[in-house]
Amino acid sequence: MSVPLSRRSVLRGAVLLGAAAGGTALTQLGDDRGARAMTTQVDQPVIANCATWRARPPSSAVTVLQNRPNKIIVHHTAFPNSTDYSLAHAYQNSRDIQNLHMDTNGWLDSGQHFTNSRAGYLTEGRHGSLYALLHGQTMVQGAHCVGQNSQAIGIENEGIYLDVQPPQALWDSLVLFCAFTCQQYAIPATEIYGHKDFNSTQCPGLLHDRLPELRSAVAARLG
């Protein structure tokens, strides 16, 4: 799905470069625009879809909203800080979250849109979230933050970070994920929040203290 987007961007750049090659007074401007269009593109990170990590089907149809989200909300999970950094563990983590949300919380599917493992493996959460992200026009209604589920993309980061920092790999993937999501939905890097900004919770722990750093890193990736 990223290919058409990338190609369109490259083509847009090529058109501008082509105009520049025409030798008009706008040559330099066209050149700069073309270069910027290509260098600010955030490549799609690898995000395993629900089928890949063997998600259960939702218990009822997910709701696709015909609006773009206006923010990203960062969470951490309630699971222990595992030292299993394998891909298999990341998939198991996604299944554990889905089971908790469906069987204990009684939700129709995973509440969050996406999940980031301690090793930095990204997976789709609620069904349809990845398709919506790649097209950048709609979003799936989530269940991760009361009052924000129809306007915020929720990302669950594996682990508890009340008194320890997350692994660097988790952080790096979080930056990349947020940058790509901001790009796809035209969300400003300033519109990245933590769960506790909206609900009474400690989530996302120390990650909340690092939101200014996260916003800066995302802004840098977006150019």
Q: Which residues bind Zn ion (CB under 5 A)?
A: 75, 195, 203
The whole-angstrom separation of Cα 145 and Cα 1 is 28
The whole-angstrom separation of Cα 139 and Cα 118 is 25
> Three-class SS of residue 20?
helix
Which CB atom, from 13 or from 69, has the smaller least distance to Zn ion?
69
Which CB atom, from 9 or from 81, has the smaller least distance to Zn ion?
81
Which CB atom, from 20 or from 72, has the smaller least distance to Zn ion?
72
The distance of closest approach from Cβ of residue 75 to Zn ion in the complex, given in angstroms and rounded to an integer, is 3
Angle at 81 between CA 55 and CA 153, to 5 degrees: 50
Q: What does the DSSP 8-state code read for residue 26?
A: T
Q: Do the Cβ atoms of 119 and 35 come closer than 8 Å? A: no
The distance of closest approach from Cβ of residue 23 to Zn ion in the complex, given in angstroms and rounded to an integer, is 56
The whole-angstrom separation of Cα 84 and Cα 174 is 18
The distance of closest approach from Cβ of residue 105 to Zn ion in the complex, given in angstroms and rounded to an integer, is 13
Which pair of structure tokens corresponds to residue 116? Answer: 């980031």
Which CB atom, from 20 or from 203, has the smaller least distance to Zn ion?
203
The distance of closest approach from Cβ of residue 125 to Zn ion in the complex, given in angstroms and rounded to an integer, is 12
